[in-house]
């Protein structure tokens, strides 16, 4: 049996499939384009009707039953209608969207925050807006966010959304300062070695794909940034790339390596893009999902077993700069980080800083050898205290 459930993952609702591990079933999910989530420990697809049909056909091929019971219990707000909420609550969401736009939040933030507030109001649809209190927020966190296994990141987004909502609706009995958020996960980024990066580029035969991956690494770009690049943003004379309207609505320049320039020139002459540097359909930007798909194929060809995403190349760019002795402040500017603390995480994964620390066991062995000069070949595989 395959148990289906709707989850919030990577900024959107997904259809998750849970089943006892079976390599045959896992292989089938992988072959239809499903992705495995280590966070939720499941395979997932986008929340679309085509995905549902795909799952039905897949289950039929495998002779397995699909369990929809949990999806039926869940109530998604990704497409809330007036009829889904009391009129008062629906109007509150519309006011909230206008408020967020007035705060100049990005389109993605407006959508994500509005969905979370809609989910909160749907959970409390039996209460008038004025009757919402601190306990309503706590129950929402307990019975929706925690019970449905939202990630820590999504949980924090939901609480931030509610903070803005109750800041706007100050007549409600909720203290914005008292809304608690779980602590951030402190996970170290995955980093590729220089050899792995070169191997990745060598096995990527498609010229456009190779050029895109090389830019992600060479310039430390986010995937959204590289897909928005225009031909005019590449300055070969100054060896720079102009990144427009990046995260936090900031522009910046980043360095363009000399070794990538012949590749870029070859790509532009071959594909002749119009305005955007990387086009999907004529005149339209290449999709991030396509980048992830061909990156996954290239990693397999290169024999890289680490979990690699487009952002892994950005992490690798920063780590390798630090290992080469580049000042942290300069790396912060190249990455476009607002705070130096964000860039500091790369000091935890750089080989240069790790190799500078002497292991305490090595230090103890060295001291022993200095004390007992007759036993220079002391090994840990035998009793040293004879």
My answer on whether 299 and 263 are in the same domain is: yes
Report which secondary-structure segment, H or E, holds 14.
Answer: strand 12-18
My answer on whether 222 and 103 are in the same domain is: no
* CA separation for the pair 226, 290 (Å, rounded): 13
Residue 72 burial (10 A CB sphere; 0-12, 13-18, 19+):
exposed
Residue 286 DSSP one-character state: P
Average model confidence (pLDDT) for the chain? 85
My answer on whether 146 and 227 are in the same domain is: no
Q: What is the pLDDT of residues 334-359, one digit of tens each?
A: 888 878 877 887 776 665 555 555 66
Confidence bin at 78 (pLDDT 50/70/90): very low
Q: Is residue 357 part of a domain?
A: no
Residues assigned a catalytic role: 222, 247, 311, 314, 337, 346
Say if residue 367's pLDDT is above 80: no
pLDDT winner (highest mean) among 196-210, 278-292, 325-339: 196-210
Q: Is 16 helix (H, G, I), strand (E, B) or coil?
A: strand
pTM passes above 0.85: no
Q: What is the pLDDT of residues 163-174, one digit of tens each?
A: 999 999 999 989
Residues 6+ positions from 89 with CB-CB distance below 8 Å = 121, 122, 125, 129
- Which of 40, 73, 106 marks a domain boundary? 73
- Which of 178, 206, 229 marks a domain boundary? 178
My answer on whether 38 and 99 are in the same domain is: no
Full domain range(s) for residue 223: 194-347
DSSP string, 22-74: -HHHHHHHHHTT-EEETTTTEEEEESSHHHHHHHHHHHHHHT--EE-HHHHH-
Q: What is the pLDDT of residues 178-196, one digit of tens each?
A: 998 888 777 778 899 999 9
What pLDDT score does 84 carry?
62
Cα four-point dihedral sign 73, 78, 84, 88: positive
What pLDDT score does 66 carry?
87
CB 40 within 8 A of CB 16: yes
* CA separation for the pair 83, 64 (Å, rounded): 36
Place of tokens 């990704």: 78
More confident residue, 151 or 72: 151
More confident residue, 305 or 341: 305
Please count the residues of the chain.
386
Confidence bin at 374 (pLDDT 50/70/90): low
My answer on whether 219 and 261 are in the same domain is: yes
My answer on whether 326 and 246 are in the same domain is: yes
CB 150 within 8 A of CB 181: no
CB 93 within 8 A of CB 114: yes
The H-assigned helical ranges of the chain are 23-31, 49-62, 69-73, 87-102, 107-123, 134-140, 152-168, 194-203, 207-219, 223-228, 261-271, 288-302, 310-323, 328-335, 340-344, 351-355, 360-371
């Amino acid at each position: 049996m395959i148990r289906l459930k709707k989850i919030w993952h990577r900024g959107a609702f997904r259809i998750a499939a849970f089943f006892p591990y079976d390599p045959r079933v896992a292989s089938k999910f992988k072959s239809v384009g499903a992705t495995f989530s280590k966070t939720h420990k499941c395979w997932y697809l986008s929340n679309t009707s085509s995905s549902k049909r795909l799952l039905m056909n897949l289950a039929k091929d495998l002779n397995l039953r699909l369990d929809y019971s949990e999806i039926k219990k869940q109530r998604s707000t990704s497409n809330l209608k007036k009829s889904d909420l009391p009129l008062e609550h629906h109007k509150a969401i519309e006011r909230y969207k206008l408020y967020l736009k007035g705060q100049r939040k990005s389109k993605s933030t407006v959508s994500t925050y509005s969905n979370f507030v809609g989910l909160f109001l749907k959970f409390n649809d039996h209460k008038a807006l004025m009757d919402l209190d601190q306990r309503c927020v706590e129950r929402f966190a307990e019975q929706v966010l925690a019970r449905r296994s939202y990630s820590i990141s999504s949980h924090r987004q939901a609480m931030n959304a509610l903070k803005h909502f109750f800041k706007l609706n100050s007549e409600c009995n909720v203290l914005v300062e008292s809304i608690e958020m779980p602590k951030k996960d402190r996970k170290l980024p995955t980093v590729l070695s220089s050899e792995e990066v070169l191997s990745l580029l060598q096995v990527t035969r498609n010229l456009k794909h190779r050029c895109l991956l090389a830019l992600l690494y060479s310039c430390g770009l986010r995937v959204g940034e590289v897909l928005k690049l225009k031909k005019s943003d590449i300055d070969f004379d100054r060896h720079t790339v102009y990144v427009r309207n990046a995260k936090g609505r900031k522009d910046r320049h980043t360095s363009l390596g000399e070794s990538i320039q012949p590749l870029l020139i070859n790509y532009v002459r071959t594909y002749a893009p119009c305005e955007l540097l990387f086009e999907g359909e004529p005149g339209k930007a290449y999709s991030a999902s396509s980048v992830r798909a061909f990156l996954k194929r290239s990693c397999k060809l290169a024999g890289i077993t680490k979990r690699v995403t487009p952002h892994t190349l950005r992490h690798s760019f920063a780590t390798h700069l630090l290992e080469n002795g580049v000042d942290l402040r300069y790396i912060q500017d190249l990455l476009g980080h607002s705070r130096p603390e964000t860039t500091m995480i790369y000091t935890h994964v750089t080989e240069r800083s790790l190799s500078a620390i002497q292991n305490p066991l090595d230090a103890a062995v060295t001291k022993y050898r200095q004390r007992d000069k007759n036993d220079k070949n002391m090994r840990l595989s035998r009793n040293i205290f004879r």
